């Protein structure tokens, strides 16, 4: 059963609806706007009545003609800033009804969640994809080792690993880095530190290890990476390795810069190669 409403009651119901409503005629011009949408926009019906998209001077108001999207309405003297989600229905007569829901609060909450997640990532010491230390965690482990070398003149080496698919001509597969990270982690000593440095880079800090010992480890890892089961047909996974050892006067930045230069030399040589610096 369909209820028949008198025009005054219908107009009141539309104006008191919690969503904005806009009616476009067959020519794509604004035929009707309810009070809720006028309040959202901080404008009057006279300013919109009979206007087409090109006849609205404010770019943000032109977005009202685009169906099914979220639009941003900036603040002005007549309104606060708002985010409106649009849903639309095309009528048989080629007229269209657009419904606008105010999602400003939801959008702000989502933005706050993103900012909090970013802040947590910045203050976290662990990479979520591999479970290894991230750069922050690496530095917290490397700096005490450098201080120990300075004080006791002990050995320490750093190995950087840059994964390459088809010698760097193709991007890595999603599971490439976690797979290699697990393989190396299983072989690391309890005193070693393994961390993720970038999208395709891992780094190992090896206390009480000479450059020769670090190179021998890197050579073994080169072969083991090549022997991993292929994740993608006709696409070889390899790695470029850089190795450096602590020298008198080194700090963390010096060592990381030097090992990064060594990795670049190994990458330039085509990968599956260990370069010393």
CATH node for 7-107: 3.30.450.20
**Percent of the chain, pLDDT > 90?**
52
Tell me the mean pLDDT in the region 38-55.
Answer: 91
Name the percent of the chain lying above pLDDT 70.
95
Query: DSSP secondary-structure letter at 125?
Result: -
Q: Is the dihedral of CA 131, 136, 139, 141 positive or negative?
A: negative
Closest C-alpha to 242, from 177, 138, 158, 160: 160
pTM for this prediction = 0.57
HSE-CB at 10 with a 13 A cutoff on CA atoms is 5
Domain with CATH 3.30.450.20 in the chain: 7-107
Query: Cα–Cα distance between 247 and 263 in angstroms, integer?
Result: 18
Better-predicted residue by pLDDT, 16 or 8:
16
Q: According to the model, what pLDDT value does residue 1 have?
A: 45
pLDDT tens, position by position, 73-123: 888 888 899 999 999 998 888 899 999 999 999 989 998 888 887 777 666
Note the Cα 226 to chain centre separation in Å.
30
**Average pLDDT, whole number, for the chain?**
88
Rounded distance between C-alpha atoms, residue 205 and residue 258, angstroms:
14
Question: Is the pLDDT higher at 277 or at 159?
Answer: 159
Q: Where in the chain is the domain with CATH 3.30.70.270?
A: 124-276
CATH architecture for segment(s) 124-276? 2-Layer Sandwich (3.30)
Average pLDDT over residues 155-176: 84
């Amino acid at each position: 059963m369909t209820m028949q409403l008198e025009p005054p009651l219908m107009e009141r119901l539309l104006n008191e609806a919690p969503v904005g409503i806009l009616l476009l005629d067959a020519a794509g011009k604004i035929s009707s706007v309810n009070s809720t949408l006028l309040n959202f926009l901080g404008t009057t019906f006279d300013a919109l009545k009979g206007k087409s998209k090109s006849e609205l001077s404010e770019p943000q108001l032109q977005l009202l003609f685009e169906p099914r999207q979220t639009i941003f309405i900036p603040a002005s003297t007549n309104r606060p800033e708002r985010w409106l989600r649009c849903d639309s229905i095309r009528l048989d007569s080629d007229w269209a009804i657009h419904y606008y829901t105010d999602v400003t609060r939801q959008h702000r909450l989502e933005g706050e969640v993103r900012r909090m997640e970013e802040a947590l990532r910045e203050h976290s010491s662990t990479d979520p994809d591999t479970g290894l230390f991230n750069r922050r965690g690496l530095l917290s482990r490397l700096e005490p080792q450098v201080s120990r070398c300075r004080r006791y003149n002990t050995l320490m080496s750093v190995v950087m690993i840059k994964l390459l698919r088809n010698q760097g001509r193709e991007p890595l597969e999603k599971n490439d880095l976690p797979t290699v990270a697990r393989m190396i982690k299983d072989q690391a000593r309890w005193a070693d530190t393994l961390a993720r440095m970038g999208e395709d880079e891992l780094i190992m800090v090896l206390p009480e290890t000479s450059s020769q010992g670090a190179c021998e480890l890197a050579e073994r890892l080169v072969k083991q990476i090549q022997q991993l089961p292929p994740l993608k047909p006709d696409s070889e996974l390899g790695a470029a390795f850089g190795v450096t050892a602590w020298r008198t006067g080194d700090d963390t930045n010096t060592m990381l810069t030097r090992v990064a230069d060594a990795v670049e030399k190994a990458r330039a040589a085509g990968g599956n190669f260990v370069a010393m610096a």
